[in-house]
Amino acid sequence: MTPLEMAQLHALCFETPRPWTAQEFAQQTSAPLVRSIVLDHSFALIRCIAGEAEILTLATDPNHRRRGLARTLLAAIDAHPDIHTVFLEVAANNRAARALYTSNGYRESGLRRDYYRTPEGSRIDALLLEKTLTLRP
């Protein structure tokens, strides 16, 4: 998936936080610690360092949701042999994403008040979520 295709899909999925541009995706995907996981109609970007991964963004085409694509992306992150802890931020009002992460073993570990700005200018809190993966041999 090209940075332009990622930006187009991201724009379908997000209003808050604001969608990333193709240039931002190009910068992220070329960064040495960032990995992309791509499926048809879905992708995730993660930054990996010292056994930890931060999910930078995860997007699934709204016309292809509820088919297990996001769960497949999360499973791919969990299967990465060098990752023992995964972190992410999610908008507090994004119930669907919160339910997805909670059902996949993520727990709330913090709060960033007024972290996201809506297109109208109001603010939304971000919840910090984390998951500790089972150690593998």
Residue 64, burial from CB neighbour count under 10 angstroms (0-12, 13-18, 19+)? middle
Residue 82: Cβ-neighbour burial (10 angstroms; 0-12, 13-18, 19+) = exposed
Active-site annotation holds for 101 = yes
| Residue 108 annotated as catalytic | no
Given 101, 115, 116, 130, the catalytic residue:
101
Query: Could you tell me which residues come within 8 angstroms of residue 98 by beta carbon, excluding any fewer than 6 positions away?
Result: 90, 92, 127
Q: What is the distance between the terminal CA atoms of the chain, rounded to a whole angstrom?
A: 32
Query: Tokens representing 13?
Result: 């999925």
**Choice among 5, 15, 24, 89 that is catalytic:** 89
Sign of the Cα torsion 130, 97, 62, 116 reads negative
Beta carbons of 92 and 112 less than 8 angstroms apart: no
Q: Which residues are catalytic?
A: 89, 101
